[in-house]
Amino acid sequence: MSPSLHIENIDVYSPDGVETINQWVSDIVNGIEPEREERIRFWVHIRDAERAFETLKKNDISGDFQLSGRRAWNQKMILNEINILWNRYQNAVHGTHTIESLSEITSPAAFQIDANDLRPDLRPLHDALLSCGTDGWRPLISIRVGLMECIASAIKNH
C-alpha cells in the first residue's frame, strides 16, 4: 500500500459554503446581528487549500499536514470588513455613495493580533510545498476578496 496524503483543513471557507464565516455574511446581508464568538480563527479560502492539495498530490507527497491561514483573525475584524463591503455594495445599488463611503477604509488586514501560539503547525506543509518547487505555503486569496465572494453568494441565494 502506498503512503497517503492527509490534510486537516482548519478554518477553510468557500463562498458557497456553510462555515461560520458564511453564517456571519448571511446574517449581515439579512440585517441580523451575528452571534458573538471569542475564538481566534486562521481563515483561508478553499481555492488556496485546493491549490496546495493539488501541488502535493501532483508531486507524490505523502504525510499528514495541517492547513489553515497564516494570520490570526478575531470575529470583530471579520465582521467589520463584512459590514464595510456590504455597505459599499448597498450604496452602489442605491446610488447613495458619499465621499466618506468611497474613502479608503483600512482593511482589517492592516491590524494584527498576536496569536501565534494558537496557530496550527504549518511548517510541515510549508516545507513540503517548498520541496515541490513552490514558494511554500502562501495563500493568495485575500480575506477581502474572499468575503466579497461570500457576499455575492449570499445575495444570489437570498
Q: According to the model, what pLDDT value does residue 1 have?
A: 44
Model pTM?
A: 0.90
The Cα–Cα gap between 85 and 149 comes to 11
* Residue 151 · residue 92 · CB < 8 Å: no
pLDDT of 99: 76
HSE-up of 34 (CA within 13 Å, CB side)? 20
List per-residue pLDDT tens for the chain, 158 residues long. Answer: 457 999 999 999 999 999 999 999 999 999 999 999 999 999 999 999 999 999 999 999 999 999 999 999 999 999 999 999 999 999 989 888 777 777 766 665 556 787 878 999 999 999 999 999 999 999 999 999 999 999 999 999 87
- The CATH number that applies at residue 146 is 3.40.50.720
Distance, first Cα to last Cα, the chain: 47
Q: Which domain holds residue 140?
A: 5-156
99-119 residue pLDDT tens? 777 776 666 555 678 787 899
What is the per-residue pLDDT for 116?
76
Beta strands in the chain (DSSP E): 5-9, 12-13, 44-45, 63-67
Domain count, the chain: 1
Nearest to 101 by CA among 83, 77, 120: 83
How far is the C-alpha of 63 from the C-alpha of 126, rounded, in Å?
13
